[in-house]
Structures are given as C-alpha cells and as structure tokens.
Chains A and B, each alone.
Chain A
Amino acid sequence: MLASRRTLLKAIAAATVSGAATGLAFKPANSATVGPLQRRIPTTGEEVPVVGLGSWITFNVGNDPVLLDECAAVTAAFFKDGGRMIDSSPMYGSSQSTIGYGLRKLGYPQQLFSADKVWTSSPSAGLQQLEDTRSKWGVERLDLMQVHNLLAWEEHLDMLKAKKAAGEIRYVGVTTSHGRRHDTLERIMVSKDIDFVQLTYNILDREAEALLLPLACERGIGVIVNRPYQRGDLISRFSGEALPPWAGEIGASSWAQFLLKFIIAHPAVTCAIPATTRVDHVRENLAAASGILPDAAMRKRMTDYVEQL
C-alpha cells in the first residue's frame, strides 16, 4: 500500500518539477501581492504568512538584558511587517522565555500564531512540559504544538490530540530536521490525523520534494520548513558569489531572499521559519514573501545555478 502510494507521489512530484499542470501547480511568477504572501492551513483554511520566525540559537540569550531587548526588537519588527508564526521548543535553551519577554513587552500582539513543541522521551512528562511552555510564552493558549524530532511521538501525539479536542491548543503536528527519519514521518502522515509536519527543506536539501511534500498536499497537512538557510551556512557559502543576473525577475535582491523564495514557492509549504537576531534580516525575510515567486521552471533554474557554484 505504502509502496504504491510512493510510486504515485513520486510521479506527482516529478510532474510538478517539470512544470506540468497538476494539483500542485505553482503560483504564477507575476502574482504580485501586498504584504507577506498568505497560505491556508489545509485542515482549517486559516491563513498564515508564508514566512515565520524561528528561534533556534538566535533567541537563546539567557537572562542577558541587552540581548533580550534585541530579540524583542526582532519580534516587534516581525509583527510590524506582517509576520505571525513564531516557532520554538523546550530544547532551545531560553528561547521560549525570550519569546515571552518580547510578547510581554509588545503587549501580546493579536496576530501571534504560537508554534512550539513537546520534547521529552518521557510520555508522562509531556503534559507538564506543555504547561511550562505555555507559561513561558505567557499566553492563554498555544496555537500549534508539535512532537519534536518524533521523540516518544505516539504517546505525545495522543496527549496533544486530547488537548486539541479540549480546545486547549488549536493544531497538532510532528517535526524532524536535517532530513532524518523521513520514513517514520511518512508513516505518521499517512496514518495519523495531524495538522502540520515540520521538516528541513532548502535549495540544497530537497529530499522532501520527492515524497513528503506531495504527500502533505494529498493528505491536507500543513508544512513548516525549518533550516531554510541551513542555520546560516547557505548564506555564508554563497555570500562570496554573485546573484544570478536574472534574480531580479523573481524580486530577489539578496541571497537570503533568493533562497527563501525558492522554498516558499513550493505550493506544499505553509510557512518557512528562518531565525535571526537582526531586525534588518527579519524584514528582509518577510519581504521575500512579497511580490513575485518563482514558478517551476524558474525553481529548476535556481537549483541548477546554486549547484554549479
């Protein structure tokens, strides 16, 4: 059953890359929009901006008052430019508390879409961790709770679904990164009722294109993309290289925008979550979600270009 599904999904993915008209058709390249592009969460139709804000490393600043204020400034700029989804995890050191600090300072902006995770190998500890997380954010209700890196995922997913049914969270999901455990992720996507998957996808790490992204479309599961810049390594790697002369055709004025536009142009992607410590970078990221996005042919051109660098 799984094998035949794989064959079908691979065929869909191949057709998508070749630009054929399918259910995964890309947004037209000339579709200029005002503000960050919105994507619907498949299970509810709620719209979220296609660029969010990650917090891995960048928001782990402990109780440093200077760095806390810098993170709050990033958060403020994120909301000001139309951002909504902020993602964190108990694994990220003090990042949850840093987010809470920023939200408190900003008066808890209404547009916040809070995404966090359960990260513990102990099934019985998940509930307390959820409450600790909510407390650190300082919100009454978290929007999305995910099982981090599939750790004790069956037990935690049951707990989160019960919380969703009770109205204490709105969405549930599971996460992985670095291309790990895609086989388990596929099994969960096929067999479980979830709202989101979070996975690594960027211009060089495209393993998810073959199966998981088409599967997400087919199953009506939202996709959150982590490591869009490989934790900054992609930008460092390409920063010495010139952007292709045709980058202007998709409205990319920097490598960050070039790389981000590639990701968010994939129709299965609901939200990419780059992390940053800088206000100018968060604005640059959100600006990438405005205006023109590359179509399938342009995305192929983009991958060909970076692979020959």
Chain B
Amino acid sequence: MSAWSSYSLSDFLLFSPRVYERLFELHNAALWPAHWLAILSGFVIIACVIRATAWSGRVVYALLGVAWLVVAWAFFVKRYQSINWAAEYLAPIIAIEGVLLLVLAVLARPPDPMFRVKPDGVIAMVVLLFGVLGYPFIAPLFGRSFQSAEFFALTPDPTAAVTLAVVALSSGAARWLAMIIPTAWCIVTGLILWALSWPDFFVAPLAAALALGAAVGASR
C-alpha cells in the first residue's frame, strides 16, 4: 500500500469546525460595515445584467475583479492564513482571477453579461441572485451563527458563485478562462466543508455546476 493511499481527506484538515466558523465571525466583525458596500456592489451587478447597457460589461467585470482582490487580501492573506499555511499559496491564485477579470473589463470589447429569458439564462440568474442575496443565509440555515455568514466580495464562496453566474451570462471565448479559478475554488471549498462534516458542503459545488451547465447551454 502506498503512503498516499493511507491518507484520508480529513488528514489534510488543519483546523476544527469551531475554529473555521469563528474565522468567519471574526472576519465579518473586522470588515463591518463593508458588508453594505458588498451588497450594494452585488445589486449593481444584478442591475447591470438585467438592464444591459454599453457600460454594463465593464462595470460588472470591474466590480468582480475588485471583489476577488478584496477576497485575496482581506480573507486569504489577513484571515485564512492564520489557520492554514496553504492560504499563502492560494492568495496569489485568487488575486490572479481578480486581475484577469479587471483585464476583461478594460478590453476594447469587454464581455457583455446579459440576462436572457431562456433556461440557461434563468439558471445563471438564479445562481447570481443566490450568490448575492442567498449566501448570507446559508450559515444560519445549516446551524451556524449569522455572525459567520458569507457575503459576496468579502468571502470566496459567494464571490465564486456570483462570478461563475455572470460569466455564464456573458459571451466570448475569454469567459471560459475566467471560470477556471472560481470552479476550482468551489470544488476545494466543498472538500473542506465535507472534511469538516458541515452539511452545506454541496452548496458551492452545486452553484458551480449550475453555472457551468448554463454556460455550456448558452454556448450551443
């Protein structure tokens, strides 16, 4: 039997469920009242997607890019790294996604996220609304404190869900590039929560799967 086959997922977990929950509580307490700004930016993204204008793509992708940079710094560097040394290596990857989205925002022809009343458009829109408005209720719904709620632009899971939904509503080949890191994170966070025995481990992977499905459907 090789040494690697003797490892289980929980062997890679460095912290307890209580520590991880309190990490989000401390994160929220430290950033308050930035939550209002985060929610507002989410509403702006939703509005831009519903009422697409010439500037919608630039605004939406710029907001997403800033959100990922905020998450890279405020969550991964300043918070998560205190309990997981791997955050040191994850933070640059998260920041790369932010830079990529900002680059897309300033392209001569930026992506044009737009809600269309079609099955794939509706699915992506549901994921987008969930990422902005629904994600903060996941923690209390699954037995954790509301103080540990996760918000778009402040924590990675809802930020990934919103990004994937927006990208699914966009056209152009570059959008697939923008989906790689958020999808990977949704898988990673699902594994972390699974190892923690948290019942909502499926939420982020499911959001990613729906958004990816919508993107594939829209590309046909």
Residues on A lying within 8 angstroms of B by beta carbon are 57-58, 60-64, 66-67, 90-94, 178-181, 231, 277
Asked if A64 and B14 sit within 8 Å, CB to CB, the answer is no
Q: Does B85 contact A (CB under 8 A)?
A: yes
| Minimum distance in angstroms from A172 CB to a CB of chain B | 23
CB contacts (< 8 Å) of A180 on chain B: these are 3, 6
Contact B11 A178 (CB under 8 A): yes
Report B-chain residues with C-beta under 8 Å of the C-beta of A66: 22
Q: Is the CB of B19 within 8 A of A62?
A: yes
Residue B55 interfacial (CB < 8 Å): no
CB proximity of A31 to chain B, nearest CB, Å? 37
Known: A62-B83, A64-B23. A178 touches B6 (CB 8 A): yes
Which residues of B come within 8 Å of A, CB atoms? 3, 6-7, 10-11, 13-16, 18-19, 22-23, 26, 79, 82-85
Question: Looking at chain A's contact residues, is the secondary structure mostly helix, strand, loop, or mixed?
Answer: loop
B3, B19, B82: the one contacting A181 at CB < 8 Å is B3
CB atoms of B85 and A58 under 8 A apart: no
Known A-B contacts: A67-B18, A91-B85, A93-B82. Give 16 more (CB < 8 A). Answer: A57-B13, A57-B14, A57-B16, A58-B16, A60-B14, A60-B15, A61-B19, A61-B83, A62-B79, A64-B23, A93-B14, A93-B85, A178-B7, A178-B11, A180-B3, A181-B3
Q: In the complex, A88 Cα to B107 Cα: how many Å?
A: 50
CB distance from B131 to the nearest CB of A (A): 26
Q: How far is the CA of A57 from the CA of B7 in the complex (A)?
A: 16
Cα–Cα distance between A180 and B14 once the two chains are bound (Å): 19
B6 touches A64 (CB 8 A): no
- The answer to whether A277 and B83 touch across the interface, beta carbons within 8 angstroms, is no
Asked if A67 contacts B19 (CB within 8 A), the reply is yes
Residue of A nearest to B15 (CB): A60
B11 adjacent to A64 (CB under 8 Å): no
- Given that A57-B15, A92-B14, A93-B85 are contacting pairs, would A62 and B3 also be in contact in the complex, using a CB cutoff of 8 Å? no
Q: Which residues of B contact A58 (CB under 8 A)?
A: 16
- With A93-B84, A178-B11 known as contacts, the answer to whether A64 contacts B3 (CB < 8 A) is no
B19's partner among A64, A178, A231 (CB-CB below 8 A) is A64
A residues in contact with B10, CB < 8 Å: 231
A60 touches B6 (CB 8 A): no
- In the complex, the answer to whether A179 meets B6 with C-beta atoms within 8 Å is yes
Contacting residues, chain A, for B14 (C-beta < 8 A): 57, 60, 91-93
- The contact sample of 7 A-B pairs, CB cut-off 8 A, is A60-B15, A61-B19, A62-B23, A91-B85, A92-B14, A93-B85, A231-B10
- Do the beta carbons of A64 and B16 come within 8 Å of each other? no
B3 touches A60 (CB 8 A): no
**A180 to B11 CA separation, bound complex (whole angstroms):** 13
Please give me the residue from chain B that is nearest to A277 by CB atom: B16
- In the complex, are the beta carbons of A67 and B22 less than 8 A apart? yes
* Chain B positions within 8 Å of A90 at CB level: 85
For A179, list chain B residues within 8 Å (CB).
6
> Is the CB–CB distance between A63 and B16 below 8 Å?
no
Contact check: which of A62, A91, A92, A178 meets B82 at CB < 8 Å?
A62
| Nearest CB of chain A from residue B145's CB, rounded to whole Å | 13
Measured CB to CB, the closest approach of chain A to B147, in angstroms, equals 13
A9 to B14 alpha-carbon distance, docked (Å):
36
Q: CA separation between A66 and B147, bound complex, in Å?
A: 15
Chain B's nearest CB lies how many Å from the CB of A282? 16
* CA A91 to CA B23, docked complex, whole Å: 19
Contact (Cβ within 8 A) B83 A94 = yes
A67 vs B22: C-alpha distance in the bound complex, in angstroms? 9
Q: Tell me the nearest residue of chain A to B23, going by C-beta.
A: A62
Q: Which residue of A lies closest to B82 (CB)?
A: A62
Distance between Cα atoms of A93 and B16 in the complex (Å): 12
**Taking each of B11, B79, B83, B85, which has the highest tally of chain A beta carbons within 10 Å of its own beta carbon?**
B83
